[in-house]
Each structure stands twice: as structure tokens, then as C-alpha cells.
Structure 1
Amino acid sequence: MLLEDKVAVIHGGGGSIGAATARAFAREGARLFLAGRSLPRLEAAAEEARAAGAEVEVAVVDASDQAAVDHHADEVAEKAGRIDIALNAVGFDHAQGLAIAETSLEDYLYPIMGYLQTNFVTAKAAARHMVAQRSGVLLTVSTPGARLSGRGLIGNAAQSAGLEGFSRALAGELGPDGVRVVCVRPHAISDALTTSYTHEMFGRIASASGLPMDDWLDGLAGTTALGRLPVLDEVAEYLAFAASDRAASMTGVIANLSAGALVD
């Protein structure tokens, strides 16, 4: 198994990417600590991971709260003896699809502050333990917005580009201490659109384009080299590989999981 005896913390563990990754990590032998703001969603994700054979604990933690995240990381390290993997899969509903003239400063800054603050907070908390043990993997999640241009993308583009820059810089800082940083960049994930906030967000983007949501998604899939959007299990399986010792020389990378929407 890829992650046998590894200790993994997943912030946003009750969300679509977080829960799918928990299942993949569970199948690969990791011990899991899921954190997030919704206890029912965390418990549901934990039950699925336990069914795949993992030992799982959950905790209600606001990833923007430095003290709470630090306390949780310390608890995990005390219980498990170490933190080998930390994934930030926290998501935020935010405005997209609007021209700059129709976008408020608050709406523009909301995803930037949300994603960059929570990734800083969770990475800092886990990195303290990883640097001390001289090993570990930090995983972050971006979007193709970092490399796209067009109407309605400014907040998403700024937060994604900022997160990718943060991940690259952190890889260089922590590499000498044996800590790797890997950022994945999936496109809109077709089977993640069932969550309420994701469905509502993409529904607004589709509405701004003047298309029904299904037609808008079909058009989005048509812009990829594979002619489809990625699915959750593909993203989760890649994260499991990236977190494993088989990827021991991989750091500072932005992994393109966009199904060919972007071609590097």
C-alpha cells in the first residue's frame, strides 16, 4: 500500500475532494484525521474511509483560525506521534462570471483571503511538526484560473495564482528540511457538482453566460483535450501517489489535472 503507516490530516475533510481523498488514502493504508466545519459531513466522510479500512478521527476546526488549527495539529502529533501528510481541501463559494464593473471589492477579495489564509494557516501548523521530524508532504489544491484569462475570473484567477506561487515558494523553503509541497490543479470536477455550494456557484457562472448549466458544462468539457472534465477519484488517486514515497523527488510542482483544458 502506498501510504501504509502514514498519518494524514485533511482540512476540508467533509467536502467533495477531501472525502474522496480520504477514501483513497484509506485504501492505501493511512491513518486519517479529518477536520472541517460541518460535523455531519465529516462523520459521513469518516464512515466511508473506515469502510475502506482506515482508522479515522474527526474534529470540528475552522481552517482560518490559527490557534484552533495549531491546537489540532499538536493533538494529532501527540496521538499519532507524527504528521506525514497534510492536505488543504477547503472550499469557498465565491462570485464568478461577473465583469469587473459588476464585481464588488468584497466579492473579489473573498476567495483570495479565504484560500490564501487557510492554506497559510494549515501549512504553517503542519510544517512545524514536519520540519522537526525532517519529513512530510503538504498538498494544496488550485484551479486552471491561475492560467486563464477572460470575463468573470479575476477573483478566482488571483487566488489560484497566489496559491500556486505560495506552494512553489514553500517547497523551496521547506525542501532542505525534507518536506515536500505538491499543488494539484484540477478543472471543474464533474461529480463534485452535486454539493450545494459548488452547484450554486457554477449555476451562477452558467447563468452569467446565458446558458443552462448542463449546456455550459458540456461546453466546458469540450474545451479539454480529453473532451471531458476530471472526476473526483482521479484527483484523489493522484494526491495519494503524490503523498507517497514513490513521489519522493516531487516537490514545487503544479500538477495539471485539467483533462487537457491547459496543455503545459
Structure 2
Amino acid sequence: MLLKDKVAVIYGGGGAVGGAIARTFAHEGARLYLAGRTRAPLEIVGAAIRKGGGTADAATLDALDVDAVEAHAARVVDEAGRLDISLNVIGYGDTQGEPLLVMKPDRFVGAIHNAMESHFLTATAAGRHMVREGSGVILALSAQAGRVPYLNTGGFGVLSAAIEAFCRQLAAELGPGGVRVVCLRSGGSPETPAGQHKQEWWAKQAEKTALRRLPLLTDVANAAVLMASDRAGAITAEIVNVTSGELYD
């Protein structure tokens, strides 16, 4: 097991991506703390993990609430003794679907603000505990739109690029404390609820990739496991390409 006895917090752990990563983390031996704004999907993921013999706690949490984030991180450390892995995969709001020239400022800026504030709050809360222990891994998720612009993606590409830049900066600051920071850049998955309504579009996207397929949720989850594990101990300040070769890095 690559994550045996590791303690992991996943913000957005009830979503499609967060849930897939949580279940894979548990399969690899991690103790899970799932956090999100809506309890029901967290409980579904947690129940599946416990049914499989794993350990999972669910907590209702707004990742834009600094006091709630700090209190939750402190509770995890109090209960589990440490915090080894922190991953933020929360949603950022509706920011795609129309040209920038007609988009309202709040729709463009709001998603960028939510992404940056939530990543700052969750990563720094975890980072302070990790630096005291001298080890830990902070993970984030971006998308290929952060590297290559697409039409009508609104603020999504901008926030993806901002997440990646934040991860690089954080890695530079936390590295001397033994903490690694890695961002997974995904190509998007047709398995997500949003993806299932655009199968023809996803098929066209798949043709643009080197592998002629899009990354599945299990692909993203497996990449997250590897980056969170000690086998990636020399990898930090890196943007991991999980796009099936849509991008050639």
C-alpha cells in the first residue's frame, strides 16, 4: 500500500473527482477526512470507504471560511496525530459558456477569487501543521485550459493557471520545511456528471490526445496516489500532466 497509515484531508471529497481520489487513497491505506459544503455526498463516499474496510470521516465545511478551515485542520491533527496529505478539489462556480466580451465581471472574477482563496486557506492551514512535523504533501488540481486557451472558458483557464503558479510559490516556501507541493493538470473526464452531457464534444477532445482517449477518474486518482506517496519524494513544484497527451510537456 503506497499510502499506508497516511492521514489525508480532501476538500471537495464528495464530488466526482474528490470521491474517486478518496476511494483510491483509502484502497492504498490512507485514513481519510472528507470535507465539503454538502454533507450527503460526503457521507456516500465515506460509507463506501468504510464498507471496503477503510477509515473515513465526513465534515461539513466551507473552504472559504478561514476559521472553519483552521479548526478542521487542527481537529484532524488532534484526532489522528498528524496531517500528511491535503488535497483541494472544490468547485469554483459557473464561469464558462460565453465570450469574455459579454461576460459579467462578477461571473469572471468570482470563480478566480473562490479558487485562489480556498487554495490559500486550505494549503496554508495544512502547511503550518506539516512544517512543524517536517513532512507532508499538498496537492491541487488544475486543467489543460491553464496552459492552452480555449474559447468561452471564461475565468476557468485563468484560475487553473493561477492555481499552478500558487503551487510553485508554495513549494518554494515550504520545501525547506520538508513539505512537497504538486499540482495535477487533468484533461477532464467524460465520467463526471457534467461530462456525461457532452459525449460528442468529449469524443472530439479525445482525438486531440496522444493516447486517443481522455483521462478517466481512476487515472487522475492513481496519479494523485503516486504524487502523495513517498515514492515521489523528490517531486515538488511540479505540474503533473494527466491529459493523456493532449499537452506535450
TM-score, normalised by the number of residues in structure 2: 0.96
1:244 is aligned to 2:205: no
The one-letter amino acid of 1:160's match is S
Check whether the contact 1:167–1:182 (CA below 8 A) recurs between aligned residues: yes
Alignment pair present for 1:235 and 2:229:
no
Give 1:190 shift: 1.4
The 4+ residue runs of structure 1 with deviation greater than 4 A are none
Per-residue Cα deviation, 1:100-144 (whole angstroms, up to 9, x for no partner): 212111111122011111111100110110011010000000010
Is contact 2:95–2:108 with CA below 8 Å preserved after alignment? yes
Q: Matches of 1:226 and 1:151 in 2, distance apart?
A: 23
CA offset digits 1:216-263 (Å, max 9, x no partner): 221111111111111101101110111011111010000000111111
Deviation at 1:153, TM superposition (A): 2.7
Extract unaligned runs of 5+ from structure 1: 204-212
**Does the alignment pair 1:34 with 2:34?**
yes
Aligned to 2:134: 134
Verify: 1:220 aligned to 2:195, yes or no: no
Counterpart code for 2:213: R
Note if 1:47 corresponds to 2:32: no
Match of 1:183 in 2: 183
Structure 1 contact 26–49 (Cα < 8 Å) conserved = yes
CA contact (8 A) 2:95 2:154 kept: no
Aligned to 2:243: 258
Partner of 2:100: 100
Question: Does the CA contact (< 8 Å) of 1:10 and 1:87 recur in 2?
Answer: yes
Shift of 1:154: 4.0
Equivalence for 2:125: 125
Confirm whether residue 172 of structure 1 aligns to residue 157 of structure 2: no
Unpaired segments of 5 or more residues in structure 2? none
Partner of 2:82: 82
1:95 Cα deviation from its structure 2 partner: 2.5
Q: Distance in 1 between matches of 2:92 and 2:135?
A: 30
Note if contact 2:97-2:154 (Cα within 8 Å) is conserved in structure 1.
no
Contact 2:92–2:112 at 8 Å: present in 1 too? no
Number of positions where the alignment pairs a residue of Structure 1 with one of Structure 2: 249
**Deviating more after overlay: 70-79 vs 91-100:** 91-100
Distance 2:154 2:236 in 1: 27
1:88–1:139: 8 Å Cα contact kept in structure 2? yes
Aligned-residue CA RMSD (Å): 1.3
**The residue matched to 2:155 in structure 1 has which SS?**
helix
- 2:3 is matched with which residue? 3
Q: Is the 1:29–1:53 Cα contact (8 Å) retained in structure 2?
A: no
Out of 81-90 and 217-226, give the one that drifted further.
217-226
Q: What is the deviation of 1:79? A: 0.4
Paired letter, 2:19: A
CA distance in 1, matches of 2:171, 2:79: 27
The structure that is helix-richer by fraction is 1
Would you say the 8 A contact 1:23–1:52 is kept in 2?
no
Q: Kindly provide the amino acid, as one letter, of the partner of residue 16 in structure 1.
A: A
